[in-house]
Amino acid sequence: MALIFTLGSLSIASAVVSGVAASFIVTALYAHGIPVEGRSFALLRRRILRHLRAYRDMTKRQTGRVGPFYYVYVGSWLGMVVFGVIAILLRVAWSVVRG
C-alpha cells in the first residue's frame, strides 16, 4: 500500500513540475515578444501544446538547440502518466487480491 501511495505522490509531483515548467515556458515566450494567449492558468492548460511548440521553435532558432524547459515539461508529463497508470494498476491488483 505504501508503494501505491508513493507512486501516486510521484505522479502528483510530476504534475506540479509540469505546471512550473509551463509557467517558465510562457514567461520566456512573453519576454521574447511572442504573443501568448491565455495568461491565466485555466487558459494556459488549454493552449500549452501550442506554446510548447512555439518555445521549441524559438529556442532552436536562437541557440540551435531546444530549450531545457521543453524537456522538463515533456518528461514530467511522461512521468505523471507512467506513475499514475502503475499506481492505478497496483491499486486494482491490491483490491482483487484482498477481495
Q: Per-residue pLDDT tens for 60-93?
A: 999 999 999 999 999 999 999 999 999 999 999 9
Distance, C-alpha 76 to centroid of its chain: 4
Written as nine digits, the cell of 49 is 501544446
Query: For position 38, what pLDDT does the model report?
Result: 62
Domain ranges in the chain are 2-98
Q: Higher confidence at residue 48 or residue 16?
A: 16
Q: Per-residue pLDDT tens for 3-47?
A: 889 999 999 999 999 989 998 998 899 899 888 876 666 777 778
Q: From CA 66, how far away is CA 35, in angstroms rounded? A: 19
pTM of the model: 0.83
51-80 burial code (b ≥16 CB/10 A, e <16): bbebbbebbeeeeeeebebbebbeebbebb
